[in-house]
Amino acid sequence: MRRQADLKSSILAQVAAEPVPPRSDRRWPALGLAVLVVLAMVALLDAWGGASHAAGRPAAAGAWVLGGICALAVAATLSVLPARRSMLGRPRGLLLAVAFGVPLVVGLWLLLWHTSYADPFARVGYSCLALTSATAPWPFALLVYLSRRFEPRHPASMGAALGSAAGAWAALMVELWCPLADPAHVAVGHVLPLVLLTLLAAGLGSRLFALPKVEPRRP
């Protein structure tokens, strides 16, 4: 009994020695960050030449491609953000499904439209790779902020899934710009950056979401 009391007082003393501020309202900062992210992504698209670059693609095909990627981005985001009344993220299986699924679905969706129209020109895809890489960190930062909590169980999977969801939003911006659906171009310019982003985000996630180490004191 005495040992229990000692343990409690030791823990309470450690807690008192390391003050943490109370919870603050995070809705307005999140909204501000969301506006900043949208502005940054639009500015990047504009810097690359704007949506007029995709003029060679038939309007109907463009609408389908954009609609599909937009639905994927929304679904991926809703799947990876933690439930409203929980401090913990989604089950690992779901996170991994999003992490692996987004690059795969983006690639397959673009290839599906490959036969429906002739590409207006041919490119390897380095510009698309660069635009995706420049655009994705913004939604990733927003998603990390929105899910700003510890993930003791699988931080790397959480990071990978958030990276993949951010990649889906970046893919939407890139599809506004790029009219090409050639398999080699899709692989280099559209799928490869998403895979790289997912891997990078997994590494970041294991640092961002992992529980910080604390040294226990003996009572």
Partner 1 sequence: MDRYAEGDDSAFGELYDVLAPHLLGFAMNLTRNRTLAEDVLQQTFLQLHRSRARWVRGARVFPYAFSIAHHHFIDSTRREKHERLASTEPPELEEPASEAAPADDELDGKRRLAAVLAQLHTLPEHQRVAFQLVAIEELSIGEAAEALGVTTGNIRIRLHRAREALRHLQDPPPALAQRSKASP
Taking the CB of residue 188, how many other CB atoms lie within 10 A of it? 17
**Binding residues among 131-160 for partner 1 as defined by CB under 8 A:** 148-150, 152-154
Interacting residues with partner 1 between 196 and 215 (CB under 8 A): 211-212, 214
* Residues 70-99 contacting partner 1, CB under 8 A: 82, 84-89, 91-94
| Spatial separation of the C-alpha atoms in residues 45 and 134, rounded to whole Å | 10
Give the nearer residue to partner 1 in terms of CB position, either 63 or 217.
217
How far apart CA 75 and CA 143 sit, in angstroms, is: 14
The CA distances from residue 67 to 26, 29, 61, 71, 124, in Å, are 31, 29, 10, 6, 24
The nearest distance, CB 194 to partner 1, in angstroms, is: 24
Amino acid identity for residue 23 in this structure: R
Counting residues that bind partner 1 (by CB under 8 A) gives: 37
Indicate the residue among 8 and 207 with the shorter CB distance to partner 1.
8
Q: How far is CA 70 from CA 33, 43, 94, 118, in A?
A: 20, 19, 19, 23
Question: Which residues ranging from 16 to 55 are in contact with partner 1 (CB under 8 A)?
Answer: 18, 20-24
Looking at the Cβ atoms of 57 and 154, the one nearer to partner 1 is 154
The Cβ-side half-sphere exposure at 92, using a 13 Å CA radius, reads 8
**5 is a site residue for partner 1 (CB under 8 A):** no
> In the complex with partner 1, which residue's Cβ is closer, 11 or 118?
11
Question: Could you tell me the sign of the dihedral formed by the alpha carbons of 43, 118, 166, 35, in that order?
Answer: positive
Distances (CA, A) of 126 to 32, 52, 88, 109: 32, 19, 38, 20
- Residue 156 beta carbon to partner 1: minimum distance, rounded to whole angstroms: 12
User: How far apart are CB 212 and partner 1 at their closest, in Å?
Assistant: 7
| Residues at the contact surface with partner 1, assessed by CB under 8 A | 4, 7-8, 10-12, 14-15, 18, 20-24, 82, 84-89, 91-94, 148-150, 152-154, 211-212, 214, 216-217, 219
